[in-house]
Chain A
């Protein structure tokens, strides 16, 4: 659906040319929600603006639905933009126009009767739940409502692609959730291809199918969200994920020396990751039943990445060495990820 090949963007600045994008290759399939995550200044905003030519790439091509939009003249580009909706961090609504007129704006750019405008705006108002606010001005709306107007406006010209530029970054967590839900609904209902730019891993986790991590103008890592979450390769990816998933040890063990060999009175700490089906299976129970070991639960979360259950757990195991080894083998044979942290003594003073 969207194909970016070798996109480069260089800006002229008083200090000399600045390379914002250094050869980006990206392919986004139809109907997918594709997340692009990066720190500010990583080039992600430039990248999304290259998709609809708000920024012209210095080199490289952007193909949307088989059409090379980098080669288009101004008037075909304007036509092509009508099938690419965009929403913004700061909503960018006309302050002088009502909610209704804002949503009607893209429609009125073409030759269309007011009757047809009404016929198109009404269902959009309903879709975003703002029918009763149709004749209010943006200044009278909350941030979440403004973004809903932005979404309705972006959908008015029935686009095939929706670009979201930090669409939830100016919103509180509650509102973010509802806006993301709305985006996901539209994605499913209209089989719209969605590109999401964000600096929050939570957004990626909640709605994206695939993700590209961008750092210093290049893609550091890309792939399926679940894979990236469970098996991040690059430090930048790990950093983004660590915001959501704490990798530190439970308080009772934190700061103590981790030894690869058993120490008297120590626990063998294991970090277990369950994905999908395995999150439902009684793996731990099975391990305890079949081996003579003591297991202490130290930490556990069960979450969802899009619709896939995803669990993380830290357990402490004590018992006979050989028996622990057999228990480890038992776990690794199962469909879950086992990471051996090491032998750690528990703080005497901290109560569990």
Chain B
């Protein structure tokens, strides 16, 4: 093991964690309301609004159909507009967020659909407002499912962040390509793969635990 490997790995891991955590937080803050809107504006739901729901759903589908590697390049002008540069770890977060928001939206929508209609009906019968129903019925009831879904999103973000590394975002993916592949250092390639595996295991384990703890059914 060469002397430069440890600092290289720890720096790359730090960049990956930074990209994933910040992108995930921003994407969740936008994605959960998006999922709530997707669900509640659908037919027969508390904020039913057919046309709005259709438009929202088509935008979500459109973004989700673009492969991440293409999305990343295609939105370079937007990235530049937002962070002032199109390369670097922070710049990589723009496509990561844009790709994750619709993903989270759909996942949250799926979880909200699982909440029995009768519980919403009961809340309506007690005079709850739509906002109260979202905050006190839909989200808490769907929370175990949402946590499980978000875990999946984090894991796919880890993968996408490695791709983002290829356009100068840094992180473990970037390290594996530049050192492991291009400079013929298989030990670095192996180390990054192991770190990624461990990272994903930890995320999945934590997600499962939390979902289970929240599930009172």
Q: Give chain A's interface residues, CB within 8 Å of chain B.
A: 52, 54, 78-82, 84-86, 88, 90, 92-97, 105-106, 108-109, 137-139, 153, 157, 163
| Highest count of chain B CB atoms <10 Å: which of A93, A109, A157 | A109
Known: A82-B126, A88-B118, A96-B143. 14 other contacts (CB 8 A): A54-B124, A78-B129, A79-B127, A81-B126, A82-B127, A85-B125, A92-B118, A92-B121, A94-B141, A95-B216, A106-B126, A109-B127, A109-B129, A137-B216
A54 surroundings in chain B (CB, below 8 A):
121, 124-125
CB <8 Å contact, B122 and A92:
yes
Q: Which residue of A lies closest to B143 (CB)?
A: A96
Chain B 60-103, CB-CB to A under 8 Å as 1, else 0, gives: 00000000000000000000000000000000000000000000
| Complex contacts, A84 vs chain B, CB 8 Å | 125
Given A54-B124, A82-B127: A109 in contact with B119 (beta carbons within 8 A): no
Q: Which residues of B contact A88 (CB under 8 A)?
A: 118, 121-122
Q: Are A52 and B125 in contact (CB under 8 A)?
A: yes
Q: Are B127 and A139 in contact, with the CB atoms below 8 A?
A: no
- Residue B140 CB within 8 A of the other chain: yes
Q: Which among B121, B128, B140, B217 is the interface contact of A109 at CB below 8 angstroms?
A: B128
Judging by beta carbons under 8 Å apart, are A96 and B122 in contact?
A: no
CB-based nearest A residue for B118: A92
Interface Cβ pair total, 8 Å cutoff? 65
In the assembly, what is the distance between CA of A9 and CA of B127, in Å?
A: 22
- What's the Cα separation between A52 and B128 when bound, in Å? 13
**Contacting residues, chain A, for B136 (C-beta < 8 A):** 105, 108
Hey, which bits of chain B sit against chain A, CB under 8 A?
116, 118-119, 121-129, 132, 136-137, 140-141, 143, 214, 216-217
Chain A residues lying within 8 Å of B116, measured Cβ to Cβ, are 90, 92
Known: A78-B127, A139-B217. A96 touches B118 (CB 8 A): no
Distance (whole angstroms) from the CB of A194 to the closest CB of chain B: 15
A residues near B141, Cβ cutoff 8 Å? 94-96
> Which 3 pairs between the two chains have the least Cβ-Cβ distance?
A92-B122, A81-B127, A92-B118
With A97-B140, A137-B216 as contacts: A157 and B126 at CB distance below 8 Å: yes
Query: Do A96 and B140 have beta carbons less than 8 Å apart?
Result: yes
Contact present for A105 and B121 (CB under 8 Å): no
8 A-B pairs (CB sep. < 8 Å): A54-B121, A78-B127, A78-B129, A81-B126, A86-B125, A90-B118, A93-B122, A96-B141
Min CB distance, B118 to chain A, in Å? 4
Q: How far is the CB of B113 from chain A (nearest CB, A)?
A: 15
Would you call A81 and B119 a contact (CB within 8 A)? no
CA distance A80 to B132 in the complex (A): 17
What's the minimum C-beta distance from B125 to chain A, rounded to whole angstroms?
4
**In the assembly, what is the distance between CA of A193 and CA of B126, in Å?**
17
- Measured CA separation A97–B137 after assembly (Å): 10
Given contacts A96-B140, A97-B140, A139-B217, contact A78 B125 (CB under 8 A): no
A93 and B119 contact, Cβ closer than 8 Å, known pairs A54-B124, A105-B136, A139-B217: yes
Q: How far is the CA of A139 from the CA of B123 in the complex (A)?
A: 19
Query: What's the nearest-Cβ distance from chain B to residue A148, in Å?
Result: 15
Complex interface: chain A residues within 8 A of B124 (CB): 54, 81
A139 and B216 contact, Cβ closer than 8 Å, known pairs A54-B121, A92-B118: yes
- Interface pair A81/B125, CB less than 8 Å apart: yes
Residue in B119, B143, B216, B217 whose beta carbon sits within 8 Å of that of A92 in the complex? B119
Shortest beta-carbon distance from A344 to chain B in Å: 52
In the complex, which residue of chain A has the Cβ closest to the Cβ of B140?
A96
For B126, give the chain A residue with the smallest CB separation.
Answer: A106
B122 cross-chain contacts in A, Cβ below 8 A: 86, 88, 92-93, 153
Residues of chain B contacted by A86 (CB below 8 angstroms):
122, 125-126
Q: A96-B141, A96-B216 are in contact. Are A105 and B125 (CB under 8 A)?
A: no
Contact of A109 with B132 in the complex, beta carbons under 8 Å:
yes
Min Cβ gap A263→B in Å is 59
Chain B residue at smallest Cβ distance from A107? B126
Q: How far is the CA of A241 from the CA of B128 in the complex (A)?
A: 39
Q: How far is the CA of A93 from the CA of B122 in the complex (A)?
A: 8
Residues B128 and A78 in contact, CB atoms below 8 Å apart: yes
Rounded to whole angstroms, the CA-CA distance of A52 and B126 in the bound complex is: 10
**A87 vs B150: C-alpha distance when bound (angstroms):** 34
Q: Considering residues B116, B129, B216, which has the most beta carbons from chain A within 10 angstroms of its beta carbon?
A: B216
* Most B C-beta atoms less than 10 A away, residue of A84, A92, A96: A96
